[in-house]
A and B are shown apart, each in its own frame.
Chain A
Amino acid sequence: MGTVIEQVSLTDGGWRTHHSALRLAVNAAKHCLHEAGRNAHDVDLLINAGIYRDRNLAEPALAAMIQEDIGANPEDPHEQAHGTFSFDVSNGSCGVLTALQIVDGFLKSRAIDLALVVASDADPGHGLSEDFPFSPAGTALFCDWSDDARGVERIHWINIPDEGESFSATVGLLDGRNVLRFAESEKADELFAAAAAQAAEACLHASALTLDDIDAIVAAPAHSGFRAALSAHMGFSETQIIVAEDQRTHTASLAAAFDRASAQIRPGGRVLLVAAGAGITAGAALYRMPDGTASRQR
């Protein structure tokens, strides 16, 4: 019983999108809905977990603009129609996992039937950033509720506060211009992996499971250094730790890894979703894949 990811879509940067997180998210969302055979109006809740966006926009929530651009109930509310609720969350590479926990709260309370989680990042360009470290990438996950054994189980979180020493990003004046800048420690992968392993172990322990019960770990970020360190910390084969293909994917990386896992893991298999990011914050949750015969819809 839980929140089920019915469809995942990914987009990467083309000439029209590589400086626009908005367009990346909109393209991913439209593709995801199309593949799921759904209409944008079906979306009750839209959460954007992307961070680096056009103009370094502070408000409105980018999710509201995505909602308008995909045409999800953007018009004035009227009777006998339901609306869409959109907002942003920010939690680095853990943003999608955070959004899934929020979606779970709305689905479980039956406040909504269907949710779309999107995440995208792009260098805002136009001199607004310096040494932007991430690839332009977007993702959308179409989620609903299942009363059977599938879906996201309880998410466990771990904090190892480091005041942003391992990774930080700021927008501030530099030579009279507002510039987005990044600082990353060489030890970031190792520190993130240590936090991720702690979260994963807490999650397994709470479920009275071991790594032998897991088909794969679906992890973010996608850095090879993080993957290797996570493997070492957990004593779990690196080949069974699935990450996004593009190591420079940021907030979309967990979804990209999940998309790869969906193609590899046996129906009914169990994966451990693990994400770690700046803070340091890490989260982990078990996820039961569809068994292939279960109804895809509620």
Chain B
Amino acid sequence: MSTTRHHTHIDLERLTGIHERRVSVGEDDSYSLATAAAVDALHRAQREAASLDAVISCSITKLRDGLTQQMEPTMSSAVAHAIGADQAMTFDLSNACAGMLTGVTVANNWIRQGSMQRVLVVSGEYISQLGHNAARHIRNIMSKELASLTLGDAGAALLLERAPTGSEGIKFAGFTTVADYSRLCPAYPKGHEPAARMFTDARGIHRAAMANTPLLLHEVLDTVGISLHDIDHVITHQTSARAIRKGMAKMSSYFGESPRHDAVITVDRYGNTASTTHTVALIEELESRHIRPGETVALIALASGLEIGIVLLTLDEELVERYGHSD
């Protein structure tokens, strides 16, 4: 809270569990973060950009050349061109912090049907400016801009490709939009400040997410034919460590059982990196050697809209090894 204009008496670290986060001081923007992540994903997977059928950019921020939001052309076309994927279908997808998992859901359909072989879902979020803007307006703990202070910058990319039947991979990807809550967290450019400002009814969103996620997860588990205990790792959207722990406690009491491991928390070190949080956490978990081949990971999107999405996947040995885990 050292940058807030007004003396606020808010212990944000205690409130959110965020000890540190990463912010660009201008050296990076949405475009450079997305491009770097895309290059890294292709390099690790040893795939050529020219082999991509589609590049989907899913960020909320499309800041390029500083704090200018690029409305057209698409961020995806710029990233595709930068990495050499000029043959790929390109488009941007916006779904607040659920953007990347929405991109995964869209790509999953095409890949399963065989209409595409390989799709890059990418996002560069240079969103920390919203925190700088909020800091000038927050006066107390009731401020609707408090959540903006938790935002961190990150680029992320997921390379999805068609694999033989029976392989590890995405078992389920689905979403519901509970639109009665669509106006609980809008963000838009306002006044004299660069980029945008975000106004969050954090309690309202948390309450709606807590009320609706268990039922939707229940439906998904029934569809796939597994129970909550069969899920090894749960990665939710990273808003605050407190909210994630409370949400998981509610989930466990609803189901009468728990996933095998505690919910993954990376918000304490990265902040809320908007649409990239699940990917950031997934990579962090792989690098920490927490995820083993064949284990079931549930990615749960909770985002302004209110978007509730669930992606169930297992990772194969090749991918797990690539991030440092081999036993």
Report B68-105 CB contacts with A as 1/0, cut-off 8 Å. 11111110011011000011111111111110001000
Cβ–Cβ contact B87 & A159, under 8 A: yes
Q: Does A57 contact B (CB under 8 A)?
A: yes
Q: Does A105 contact B (CB under 8 A)?
A: yes
Cβ–Cβ contact B72 & A164, under 8 A: yes
Cβ–Cβ contact B112 & A109, under 8 A: yes
Q: Which of A60, A76, A92, A180 contacts B73 (CB 8 A)?
A: A92
Chain B residues with CB under 8 A of A67: 177, 179, 182
Cβ–Cβ contact B94 & A61, under 8 A: yes
A141 CA to B89 CA, complexed, in Å:
22
Cβ–Cβ contact A58 & B188, under 8 A: yes
Q: Does A14 contact B (CB under 8 A)?
A: no
Report A84-113 CB contacts with B as 1/0, cut-off 8 Å. 111111111011001001100110110100
Q: Which of B94, B96, B178 contacts A76 (CB 8 A)?
A: B178
Known: A60-B304, A76-B211, A91-B74. A68 touches B182 (CB 8 A): yes
Cβ–Cβ contact A281 & B180, under 8 A: no
A180 CA to B208 CA, complexed, in Å:
34
A103 CA to B91 CA, complexed, in Å:
14
Q: Which of A56, A94, A159 contacts B189 (CB 8 A)?
A: A56
Q: Which of A77, A128, A157 contacts B216 (CB 8 A)?
A: A77
Cβ–Cβ contact A83 & B178, under 8 A: yes
Label chain B's interface by main secondary structure: mixed
Q: Which of B113, B178, B185 contacts A109 (CB 8 A)?
A: B113
Chain B residues with CB under 8 A of A92: 72-74
A237 CA to B67 CA, complexed, in Å:
45
Q: How many residues of A contact B (CB 8 A)?
A: 68
Taking CB as reference atom, which chain A residue is nearest B95?
A: A87
Cβ–Cβ contact B196 & A173, under 8 A: no
Q: Does A262 contact B (CB under 8 A)?
A: no
Chain B residues with CB under 8 A of A268: none
Cβ–Cβ contact A168 & B305, under 8 A: no
Q: Does B109 contact A (CB under 8 A)?
A: yes
A46 CA to B95 CA, complexed, in Å:
12
Q: How many CB-defined contacts (below 8 Å) exist between A and B?
A: 220
Chain A residues with CB under 8 A of B74: 90-92, 278-279, 281
Q: Does A72 contact B (CB under 8 A)?
A: yes
A106 CA to B72 CA, complexed, in Å:
26
Cβ–Cβ contact B178 & A172, under 8 A: no
A138 CA to B72 CA, complexed, in Å:
19
Q: Does A59 contact B (CB under 8 A)?
A: yes
Q: Does B176 contact A (CB under 8 A)?
A: yes
Q: Does A169 contact B (CB under 8 A)?
A: yes
Residue among A46, A77, A109, A168 with most chain B CB within 10 A: A77
Q: Does A171 contact B (CB under 8 A)?
A: yes
* Minimum CB–CB distance for A156 against chain B, Å: 9
Report B211-236 CB contacts with A as 1/0, cut-off 8 Å. 11001100000000000000000000
Q: Which of B110, B112, B186, B194 contacts A59 (CB 8 A)?
A: B186
Q: Which of B71, B80, B174 contacts A159 (CB 8 A)?
A: B80
Chain B residues with CB under 8 A of A60: 95-96, 182, 185-186, 303-305, 307
Residue among A86, A90, A164 with most chain B CB within 10 A: A90
Q: Does A177 contact B (CB under 8 A)?
A: yes
A277 CA to B186 CA, complexed, in Å:
28
Q: Does A224 contact B (CB under 8 A)?
A: no
Cβ–Cβ contact A65 & B182, under 8 A: yes
A111 CA to B215 CA, complexed, in Å:
19
Q: Which of B90, B94, B177, B190 contacts A178 (CB 8 A)?
A: B190
Q: Does A154 contact B (CB under 8 A)?
A: yes
Chain A residues with CB under 8 A of B288: none
Interface positions, chain B 184-207, Cβ under 8 Å from A, are 185-194, 196, 198
Q: Does B323 contact A (CB under 8 A)?
A: no
Chain B residues with CB under 8 A of A168: 70, 72-73
Q: Does B315 contact A (CB under 8 A)?
A: no
Chain A residues with CB under 8 A of B192: 173, 176-178
* Minimum CB–CB distance for B314 against chain A, Å: 20
Chain A residues with CB under 8 A of B81: 159, 161, 163
A75 CA to B93 CA, complexed, in Å:
24
A106 CA to B196 CA, complexed, in Å:
33
Cβ–Cβ contact A77 & B102, under 8 A: no
* Minimum CB–CB distance for B194 against chain A, Å: 5
A280 CA to B174 CA, complexed, in Å:
32
Q: Does A51 contact B (CB under 8 A)?
A: yes
Chain B residues with CB under 8 A of A279: 73-74, 77, 90
Q: Does A297 contact B (CB under 8 A)?
A: no
Q: Does A185 contact B (CB under 8 A)?
A: no
Residue among B102, B112, B177, B198 with most chain A CB within 10 A: B177
Known: A59-B304, A105-B109. A161 touches B188 (CB 8 A): no
* Minimum CB–CB distance for A58 against chain B, Å: 5
Besides the known contacts A159-B86, A277-B72, 5 further A-B residue pairs in the complex with CB atoms under 8 A apart: A59-B96, A61-B96, A64-B179, A67-B179, A75-B180
* Residue contacts A-B, CB under 8 angstroms, 15 given: A56-B69, A58-B69, A59-B187, A59-B304, A60-B303, A61-B95, A68-B182, A72-B179, A75-B178, A91-B91, A105-B106, A105-B109, A164-B73, A172-B194, A281-B91
User: Hey, which bits of chain B sit against chain A, CB under 8 A?
Assistant: 60-61, 67-74, 77-78, 80-81, 86-98, 102, 106, 109-110, 112-113, 115, 174-180, 182-183, 185-194, 196, 198, 208, 211-212, 215-216, 303-307
Q: 9 shortest A-B CB distances, which residue pairs?
A: A105-B109, A178-B189, A83-B176, A278-B73, A68-B179, A172-B68, A74-B179, A87-B95, A64-B305
